């Protein structure tokens, strides 16, 4: 036929056949088949959508082998598919209509699709044998309506299959699936399949559900959810219904209860009315159906129990996967890994390290080997597990993990190149930054990555722990608290910098064997003695009350004043004080400087007052062998200060003093106090010496200067 256009409709009246083949028909009115046959030869032969009419079939609408979409369908005639596998889509433009005729397929297989948000009611005995898809809106069956021969009824999420007029019985060769809503009482037959969800989802039955026995309900399980059926009325099973576990969750089933059916009305029958197929193979777990009648709503549950094993890595290859590869020993028998298993890595399996290319969620991970292991791959260790490193070997972790349990190192070395703040994935998981989530008790945490800051702290056990920043180019800053009450100490090794900026309270000793240990922010060395065999840098204002030992150097930068108040110090390394103006070094204990050979004070800021200071406070008498070196970088515009703390104390500097540069060295005692300088004072440069403040200054040694001030 030619193109049909205009605001009117198309009416077929006589007993003959009218063939519509144009793809450009655009008329706006209804399509009415009063008699005879209207045959479709093109998918766009009948216009649909906004501004278009509905279709009234009192004769025959022959789709032949052509898929077609229409707005609403009414009348009492026949819709026939006579060849092929066409899809007949009704309800476009959100139309709502009632059709009391028959949709069938004389030949071929016709499928029905309900589109649009309206309601299409079918009141006839339809016999088409293709699928039925309710994509949107409502497909309703009137009191005499049926779709007995359709193979599959798919109720898409948000759509409704309304059978409230007379209820609906699913035939023995039919499948009902989807995550939409069924309104009315639903029954099935022996051989029926109900498959809730679309992948994983919920099929809601607003009414009663009766299960005939010999039927199957098919379930898929995701990582955190699974298919469910919600029944707002009663559930009545008779005979035995098969629960088919069609798709297992990734990583396998976790012990516990999975809700299969929620029932708001009466939960009739018993768990004995159900049997289970599709259990995973191999499996160490038990699977049972149980009734929960104490909750609201009541539930039919899949109960998974048992099955957790303690496995030892015994690889035939490097793959650590889930329920696939027999790379483990369960006692003396080869086994596969299931999530929640407790896994161990020992010397026996250390020749082949595991590659993790999926997500594994073990109950625990223990590496107890004198030989090295490497955890690599693009997967991760996840879940609530922790990781324990034992024995003398090194475990290198190269996977970015999000497990939330404790990382405990009680032997050997755990080596990582990625650390993050608490709650973010890293090589040691994503546990919170609480100190309890990293435990060092005889082992080493080695960091091999670039400069990094983390708010993690740690807990030190009785055997203490070691932090290794291996690269000289890297700084690892820990702003969390390192704690411990068992006497265990902290050891710093590696050529890099370890910056402690948290308020650390561990009660053991601190040992710096290599690299640089820096105190910044609120950082401290705990409460025990500090042995420095390398270098310590202080940044900011800080009081160090620890006894200091060792031959390593101690430097205060230009950002604050370092106060040494510890007693019993014996350290023999040099000190350098680089500022700031009006600050520098305060010594408040006569033994705080230990056996320090020299304190070098560098004043690099020009000005008429201020300067970098060494302050003796509280009646201090310094070691005879400690030389004070005052370096003034500028001419007389800038002075260096050696001040005594205020009060009635007598503070004594006993060692020699050397003044370098062309600036001015100022000596002063606090009001009412006495500053005694017993050492000789010398200057090989044009530096000058100045005495001021209201206290008494006693120079008991020789003074040899190139100039005076």
Of 381, 382, 375, 457, the closest CA to residue 422 belongs to 457
Q: Average pLDDT for residues 700-708, to the nearest whole number?
A: 82
Per-residue pLDDT tens digits for 542-561: 999 999 999 999 999 989 99
Tell me, rounded to whole angstroms, the distance of Cα 245 from its chain centroid: 29
CA distance 645 to 368: 56
Q: Which residues pair with 374 in a beta bridge?
A: 396
Residue burial 542-560, b: 16+ Cβ < 10 Å; e: rest: bebebbbbbebbbbbbbeb
Between CA 271 and CA 606 the distance in angstroms is 89
Dist. CA 410–CA 300, nearest whole Å = 46
Please count the other Cβ atoms lying within 10 Å of the Cβ belonging to residue 143: 8
Dihedral sign for Cα atoms in the order 61, 67, 68, 72: positive
Tokens representing residue 578 in the block: 């680089």
**Collapsed DSSP state (helix, strand, coil) of residue 574:** coil
Cβ–Cβ < 8 Å for 185, 167: yes
Place of tokens 């009450």: 485
The confidence band for 618, taking pLDDT boundaries of 50, 70 and 90, is confident
> What are 434-466's pLDDT values in tens digits?
999 999 999 999 999 999 999 999 999 999 999
Q: Is the pLDDT of residue 694 over 70?
A: no
How far, in Å, CA of 395 to CA of 411, rounded?
A: 10
- Report the range of poorest mean pLDDT among 142-146, 518-522, 617-621: 617-621
Ramachandran area for residue 539 (φ above 0: left; ψ -120 to 50: alpha; else beta): beta
- The upper half-sphere exposure of residue 282, i.e. CA atoms within 13 Å in the direction of its Cβ, equals 12
| Residue listed under structure tokens 């379930």 | 219
CA distances to 50, 105, 332, 432 from 42, rounded to whole Å, are 20, 18, 69, 64
Rounded CA gap, 105 and 364, in Å?
A: 60
**Do the beta carbons of residue 543 and residue 522 sit within 8 Å?**
no
pLDDT at 707: 65
pLDDT one-digit tens code per residue, 370-390: 999 999 999 999 999 999 999
| 521 contacts 502 by C-beta, under 8 angstroms | yes
**636 pLDDT more than 50:** no
Instruction: Report the relative pairing of strands 274-277 and 458-460 from DSSP bridges.
Output: unpaired
The DSSP letter of residue 303 is E
Domain residue limits, the chain: 1-150, 157-307, 406-528, 534-709
Summarised one tens digit per residue, pLDDT across range 595-606 is 999 999 987 665
| Secondary structure class of 466 (helix, strand, coil) | strand
For residues 637-641, average pLDDT: 52
Distance CA 58, CA 339 (A): 62
In this prediction, residue 679 carries a pLDDT of 94
Instruction: Please report, for residues 259, 501, 534, the alpha-carbon distance to residue 511 in angstroms, rounded to integers and kept in the order given.
Output: 56, 17, 9
- Model pLDDT for residues 274-287, shown as the tens digit of each residue: 999 999 888 888 99
CA 481/CA 244 separation, integer angstroms: 52
Three-state secondary structure string covering 110-176: CEEEECCCCEEEECCEECCCCCEEECCCEEEECCCCEECCCCEEEECCCCEEECCCCCEECCCCCEE
Q: Which of 156-160, 254-258, 518-522, 703-707 has the least mean pLDDT?
A: 703-707
Q: Which residues pair with 395 in a beta bridge?
A: 373, 414
Q: Is the pLDDT of residue 607 over 70?
A: no
C-alpha closest to that of 594 among 631, 632, 554: 554
What pLDDT does 674 receive?
86
For the chain, what percent of residues have pLDDT higher than 90? Answer: 83
Is residue 22 a contact partner of residue 2, using CB atoms and an 8 Å limit? yes
Does a cis peptide bond (omega within 30 degrees of 0) precede residue 64?
A: no
Chain-centroid distance of CA 98 in Å reads 52
Residues 575 and 695: their CA atoms lie apart, in Å, by 27
In terms of Cα–Cα distance, which of 598, 585, 572, 687 is closest to 645?
585
How close are the terminal C-alpha atoms of the chain, in Å?
A: 118
Three-state secondary-structure class, residue 36: coil
Per residue in 287-331, pLDDT tens? 999 999 999 999 999 999 877 899 999 999 999 998 889 999 999
621: how many CB neighbours lie within 10 A of its CB? 17
Query: CA nearest 187: which of 235, 131, 239?
Result: 235
Q: Report which of 612, 617, 560, 610 is spatially closest to residue 593, judged by C-alpha positions.
A: 617
The per-residue pLDDT for 635 is 53
- CA 539 to CA 518: how far, in whole Å? 7
User: What's residue 603's pLDDT?
Assistant: 79
Please tell me the predicted confidence (pLDDT) of residue 387: 99
Q: What is the mean pLDDT of the chain?
A: 94
Lowest mean pLDDT, pick from 83-87, 301-305, 581-585: 581-585
The H or E element containing residue 258 is strand 256-263
Give the separation between CA 53 and CA 496, rounded to whole angstroms. 79
Q: How is residue 181 annotated by DSSP?
A: E
The maximal CA–CA distance of the chain, rounded, in angstroms, is 135
Query: Nearest-CA neighbor of 157 among 200, 118, 209?
Result: 200
pLDDT band at 644 (very low <50, low <70, confident <90, very high): low
**275 forms bridges with which residues in the sheet?**
242
How many angstroms separate the Cα of 168 from the Cα of each of 146, 174, 191, 198, 238? Answer: 8, 12, 16, 21, 17
What's the rounded Cα separation, in Å, for the pair 651 and 667?
12
pLDDT at 612: 82
- Cβ atoms of 470 and 496 closer than 8 Å: yes
Instruction: Decide: 603 and 637 in contact? Cβ < 8 Å.
Output: no
pLDDT at 637: 36
Q: What pLDDT score was predicted for residue 630? A: 86
Instruction: Please answer whether residues 406 and 437 qualify as being in contact, where contact means their C-beta atoms are separated by less than 8 angstroms.
Output: yes
């Amino acid at each position: 036929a030619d193109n049909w256009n205009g605001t009117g409709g198309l009416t077929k009246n006589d007993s003959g056949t009218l063939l519509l083949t144009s793809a450009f028909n655009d008329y706006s009115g209804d399509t009415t088949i009063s008699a005879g046959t209207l045959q479709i030869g093109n998918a766009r032969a009948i216009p649909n959508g906004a501004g278009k009419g509905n279709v009234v079939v009192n004769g025959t609408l022959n789709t032949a082998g052509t898929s077609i979409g229409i707005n609403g369908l009414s009348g009492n005639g026949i819709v026939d598919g006579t060849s092929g596998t066409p899809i007949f889509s009704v309800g476009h433009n959100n139309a709502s209509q009632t059709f009391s005729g028959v949709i069938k397929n004389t030949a071929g297989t016709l499928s029905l699709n309900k589109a649009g948000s309206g309601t299409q009611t079918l009141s006839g005995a339809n016999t088409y044998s293709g699928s039925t898809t309710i994509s949107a809106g409502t497909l309703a069956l009137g009191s005499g309506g049926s779709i007995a021969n359709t193979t599959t009824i798919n109720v898409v999420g948000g759509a409704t299959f309304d059978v409230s007029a007379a209820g609906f019985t699913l035939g023995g060769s039919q499948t009902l699936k989807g995550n939409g809503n069924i309104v009315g009482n639903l029954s099935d037959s022996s051989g029926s399949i109900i498959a809730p969800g679309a992948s994983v989802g919920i099929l809601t039955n607003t009414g009663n559900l009766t299960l005939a026995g010999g039927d199957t309900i098919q379930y898929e399980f995701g990582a955190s959810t699974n298919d469910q059926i919600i029944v707002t009325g009663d559930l009545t099973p008779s005979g035995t219904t098969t629960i088919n576990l069609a798709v297992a969750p990734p990583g396998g089933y976790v012990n516990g209860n999975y809700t299969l059916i929620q029932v708001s009305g009466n939960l009739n029958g018993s768990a004995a009315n159900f049997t289970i197929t599709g259990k995973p193979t191999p499996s160490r777990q038990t699977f049972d159906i149980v009734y929960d009648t104490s909750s609201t709503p009541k539930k039919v549950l899949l109960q998974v129990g048992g099955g957790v094993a303690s496995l030892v890595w015994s690889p035939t290859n490097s793959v650590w996967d889930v329920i696939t590869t027999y790379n483990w020993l369960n006692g003396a028998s080869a086994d596969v890994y299931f999530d929640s298993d407790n896994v161990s890595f020992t010397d026996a399996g250390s020749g082949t390290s595991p590659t993790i290319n999926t997500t594994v969620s073990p109950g625990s991970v223990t590496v107890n080997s004198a030989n090295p292991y490497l955890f690599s791959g693009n997967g991760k260790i996840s879940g609530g597990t922790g990781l324990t490193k034992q024995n003398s070997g090194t475990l290198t972790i190269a996977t970015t993990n999000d497990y939330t349990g404790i990382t405990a190192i009680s032997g050997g070395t755990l080596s990582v190149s990625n650390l993050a703040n608490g709650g973010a994935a890293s090589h040691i998981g994503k546990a919170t930054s609480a100190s309890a989530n990293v435990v060092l008790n005889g082992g080493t945490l080695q960091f091999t990555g670039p400069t990094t800051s983390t708010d993690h702290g740690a807990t030190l056990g009785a055997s203490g722990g070691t932090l290794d920043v291996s690269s000289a180019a890297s700084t690892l800053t820990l702003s969390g608290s390192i704690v411990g009450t068992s006497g265990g100490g902290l050891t710093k090794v590696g050529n890099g910098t370890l910056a402690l900026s948290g308020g650390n309270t561990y009660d053991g000793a601190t040992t710096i064997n290599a690299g640089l240990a820096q105190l910044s922010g609120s950082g401290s060395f705990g409460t025990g003695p500090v042995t420095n065999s390398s270098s310590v840098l202080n940044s900011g204002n800080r009081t160090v009350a620890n006894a200091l030992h060792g031959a390593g150097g101690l430097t205060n930068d230009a950002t604050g004043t370092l106060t040494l108040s510890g007693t019993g110090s014996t350290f023999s390394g040099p000190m350098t004080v680089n500022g700031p103006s009006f600050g520098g070094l305060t010594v408040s204990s006569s033994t705080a400087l230990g056996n320090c050979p020299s304190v070098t004070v560098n004043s690099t800021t020009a000005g008429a007052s201020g300067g970098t200071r060494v302050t003796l406070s509280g009646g201090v008498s310094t070691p005879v062998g400690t030389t004070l070196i005052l370096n003034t970088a500028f001419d007389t515009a800038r002075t260096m200060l050696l001040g005594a703390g205020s009060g009635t104390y007598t503070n004594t500097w006993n060692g020699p003093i050397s003044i370098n540069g062309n600036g001015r060295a100022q000596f002063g005692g606090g009001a009412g106090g006495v500053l005694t300088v017993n050492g000789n004072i010398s200057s090989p440069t044009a530096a000058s010496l100045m005495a001021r403040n209201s206290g008494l200054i006693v120079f008991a040694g020789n003074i040899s200067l190139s100039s005076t001030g």
